Chain A
Amino acid sequence: MNAPFHVSYQHGTTYRRATAARLEEMSKAPKKKKEPMPPIRLWGHVVALAWIIPGGGHFLQKRNGRGAILAGAVTLTFLLGIFMRGTMFEPKTADLLTTIIHVGGFLGDAASGILYFLATWLGYDQIDLSGLSHDYGTKFLVAAGLMNVLAMVDAFEIAVGRKT
């Protein structure tokens, strides 16, 4: 009965020593420096324009081809969502899941910028109906906003020199 305990104890001690040595080695290794946040004056206006006008951040930085593709993709997705009579989310709060779905959906919709504001100002107000087209439409509207978020991140990275 003693032998296994003895073996296990020895093994545990060796393991602990090895782990301690590895931790010490890691603490001596040079730490990777976290990249500091660039000043907002470099990227603030670019990201704001990229949000309001899909592709606008790229146009501002003379990346016209990429800006046009992004603007086209986001606008096409948003229009498809509207034509399929998708629902715009409103930031409702209730239980956790409802809050996540509605607030997240609202942020996704609003990320489309001028497209969202135009649709709302022009009175687009589709009630939530069940059905294949309506469901896809709702997803297309949110996806358009999320694609615009990707475009905003890309514009940010160009503005701060992390990307060409």
Chain B
Amino acid sequence: MPTMSLTHFEATMLFALVISVVLGVTGRNTDRERLIYGLRCFGYFVATVFGLGWLMYLGHG
């Protein structure tokens, strides 16, 4: 069986991508709203990843 080894960044981006797709598809009623909502969710995920990443980096001293 093939195995994968991803970095933190790759894994979180993949995670954000698939979850944003599902939230977009299930969360709104029209295709346009779904696209916008999915992109917004992805943006929030990315911003959170970078924000928490910097917070941990700075907090680590």
Quick check: A83 and B3 within 8 Å, CB to CB? yes
Interface residue total, chain B, C-beta cutoff 8 A: 19
Q: Nearest A residue to B7 by beta-carbon distance?
A: A132
| A164 and B29 contact, Cβ closer than 8 Å, known pairs A70-B22, A133-B5 | yes
Interface residue total, chain A, C-beta cutoff 8 A: 25
| A147 and B18 contact, Cβ closer than 8 Å, known pairs A84-B5, A84-B6, A136-B6 | yes
Question: Cβ of A17 < 8 Å from any Cβ of B?
Answer: no
Mask of B1-38 contacts with A, CB within 8 angstroms, 1/0? 11111111001001100110111011001000000000
CB proximity of A127 to chain B, nearest CB, Å? 14
A154: B residues at CB distance < 8 A: 25-26
Binding site for A on B (CB under 8 A): 1-8, 11, 14-15, 18-19, 21-23, 25-26, 29
Quick check: B8 and A132 within 8 Å, CB to CB? yes
CB proximity of B36 to chain A, nearest CB, Å? 16
Dominant secondary structure of chain A at its interface with chain B: helix
Binding site for B on A (CB under 8 A): 66, 69-70, 73-74, 76-77, 80, 82-85, 132-133, 136, 139-140, 143, 147, 150-151, 153-154, 163-164
Q: Nearest A residue to B8 by beta-carbon distance?
A: A132
Quick check: A76 and B11 within 8 Å, CB to CB? no
Quick check: A150 and B3 within 8 Å, CB to CB? no
Q: A133-B5, A150-B22, A150-B26 are in contact. List 13 more A-B contacts (CB 8 A).
A: A66-B25, A69-B25, A70-B25, A83-B4, A85-B3, A132-B7, A133-B3, A133-B6, A136-B15, A143-B18, A147-B18, A147-B19, A151-B22
